Amino acid sequence: MSLSGTLDFTALSQMGGLRIISLENNSFSGPIPEFNRLGSLKGLYLSMNQYSGEIPPGYFTEMTSIRKIWFDGNKFTGEIPYSIAELPNLVELHLEDNEFSGTIPAIGQRSLNSVNLSYNNLTGEIPPGLAKFDAASFEGNPGLCGAKFGKMCDKVKPQTPNSNENSSKKNLRIEYFVMGVTILILGLMIVGICILRKRKKHNSETIGIMENNLEGSVGLTICNISKPEAIPGQNGFGTGQKTLMSRNKKLDVDLVLLNNSKGVFRLSDVMRASAEVLGNGMLGSSYKATMSNRMIVVVKRLKELTLVDKNGFESEMMRLGRLNHPNILTPLACHYRKEEKLLIYDYIPGGSLLHVLHGDQGRRHAELKWYVRLKIIKEIAQGLGYLHTELADLQLPHGNLKSSNILLKPNFHPLIVDFGLQHMINTHHVANALAAYKSPESVKTHQVSHKSDIYCLGIIILEVLTGKFPSQYVNSGKGGTDLVQWVKSATHEQREVELLDPDITGSSKYIGEMKKLLHIAVNCTDSDPGARLEIKEVISSIENIQGGDEKSIPMFSSFGDGYDDAASTLTDSSYLSIAVEPKINNNEQAQRNNDSFEFRVS
């Protein structure tokens, strides 16, 4: 985006729950604004703007809650503020690609786990507290010295009075020059702002959206989208598919409708909608958007689909949009930008399987009886079988099958989402982003196949049967339960009943059937992909298991949103964002942290 201008800090200071601000990838310029008036901020993201000048040394003194500072890609000068070193909770500090000079202050908080000061004009030694970070975090600063850079730090030579005098005169000339340039730039900025304001009145829309998270924190969304106008005669891609193209060729704003089940709508309709952040995952973020006609959709912003161009992306999305199965949720529309891709889906009010199993301990969770869980597993398998038939040419027909990508309708009817994307994802990102890459064959040989999807299905079956959160969902490897090893050991010792969720073992009538399903899951998660069942065999085996009276499955209205993973996404414009930590019992908060319940859009 290219937003500029000034922010109303009087209004922002009245938003007591505001915790995160993100203005990334815009054209804001001038000195750093008074964000330090917002003492409760936990994250401040100003990356890729045009902010310049020195940051006052004590700027961060009152910002004791700040945890993440991302100022990279600006034009800040002067020394790094010493007050950064006094922040007690700092976790991430990114100041790369600026013009900071002088020595690095004594930064070294134990909480720091991400630092990048590269490509500035810093000099001297690196503080001992930053020695744990590799040289790449400081490259592009020729004046830095020490063992990390293979050169000793020279002692400063005392200057003679004559050299001091010459230096003072030189500095004075530089100051006059900088002052003149600054006045000129300010004048040009004022003229530019006036011109931009006039243009915005005619052909752009600015959106500001306030949202409440589960704990009352507030986020603010700011974006600028030029109005797309339909061009007569631009109907194509088959029935119900239409391209809405902007007459502004530079912006090239369009929306491809993949089916007309929800009618025709524009990107501008979506961007004007009231929005609620649903979740954030390794591929992006997702939003619930309520348009002016009361139509509700979920918009997913995907940044890592970089292996396809516009034509390739739209072709793949149209293929996915043509899929038709009762347990598959296909996209309604898509939008391509080089920096991001948008996928728009129908909104499903029942939440995700992950949320119902681990996050919702109320009435909806209580309804997860044996026959309900069996129904969910059976229909997930049927949906995956359909994908393996229709997308058989793909290395991974799904690729990211896990409980956060299973949405449940109010009657517990499961819908599989976020499938068929693996071959479009950045190769450097795909292994961390997709669940199939947690399979043993991927970990050992970096190979994946249809059987990797079967492995993921086995994990879901174990998760549903045991009620435990799988460690396979946690990228850090810390937290959750290694269900595969746990179940393998117990079944070998014939202790299967101990594995089952107590919520479904109240009656012994179906214990034998539960054990059968457990053994199917064990086969699906075999370390040898060749030994795993084919998807047709899995479906056939599950359909032979008895579950009880499915007529008694309740039909509820919404019990919470659970688009937790967000291969999801509404993506890159400029947004202020929010963080949400859902309620989780049984010490599983830490286990869920890696599944990205911090919601951020940038």
pLDDT at 164 over 90: no
> Are 507 and 583 part of one and the same domain?
no
Region 388-405 average pLDDT: 95
pLDDT at 102: 94
What's the rounded Cα separation, in Å, for the pair 414 and 460?
13
Has residue 448 been placed in a domain? yes
> Are 525 and 468 part of one and the same domain?
yes
pLDDT at 593 over 50: no
Has residue 168 been placed in a domain? no
> Are 22 and 151 part of one and the same domain?
yes
> Are 577 and 544 part of one and the same domain?
no
Residue 226, helix vs strand vs coil: strand
> Are 421 and 520 part of one and the same domain?
yes
pTM score, whole prediction: 0.54
Has residue 396 been placed in a domain? yes
pLDDT at 193: 80
Q: Residue 443: phi, psi to the nearest 5?
A: -65, -40
pLDDT at 461 over 90: yes
Has residue 457 been placed in a domain? yes
Neighbours of 472 (CB within 10 A): 23
Residue 60 sits in a domain of what CATH number?
Answer: 3.80.10.10
pLDDT at 155: 57
Nearest to 99 by CA among 121, 118, 82: 121
Token pair recorded at residue 169: 């005169």
> Are 378 and 479 part of one and the same domain?
yes
Has residue 237 been placed in a domain? yes
What's the rounded Cα separation, in Å, for the pair 99 and 470?
45
pLDDT at 483 over 70: yes
Number of domains in the chain: 3
> Are 542 and 594 part of one and the same domain?
no
pLDDT at 71 over 50: yes
- Which ranges of 391-475 does DSSP label H, i.e. alpha helix? 430-433, 440-445, 450-466
pLDDT at 397: 96
Region 166-174 average pLDDT: 62
pLDDT at 245: 30
Has residue 284 been placed in a domain? yes
Residues 6+ apart with CB under 8 A from 283: 302, 303, 304, 400, 418, 421, 425, 433, 565, 566, 567, 568, 569
Region 456-473 average pLDDT: 92
> Are 308 and 363 part of one and the same domain?
no
Confidence of residue 582 (pLDDT cuts 50, 70, 90): very low
Residue 392 sits in a domain of what CATH number?
Answer: 1.10.510.10
pLDDT at 176: 73
Residue 273 sits in a domain of what CATH number?
Answer: 3.30.200.20
> Are 318 and 429 part of one and the same domain?
no
Residue numbers of the domain that contains 422: 353-552
Neighbours of 32 (CB within 10 A): 20
> Are 579 and 524 part of one and the same domain?
no
43-45 and 20-22 beta bridge pairing: parallel
Has residue 180 been placed in a domain? no
Of 62-76, 251-265, 477-491, minimum mean pLDDT range? 251-265
Has residue 167 been placed in a domain? no
> Are 364 and 297 part of one and the same domain?
no
Neighbours of 573 (CB within 10 A): 23
pLDDT at 124 over 50: yes
> Are 324 and 391 part of one and the same domain?
no
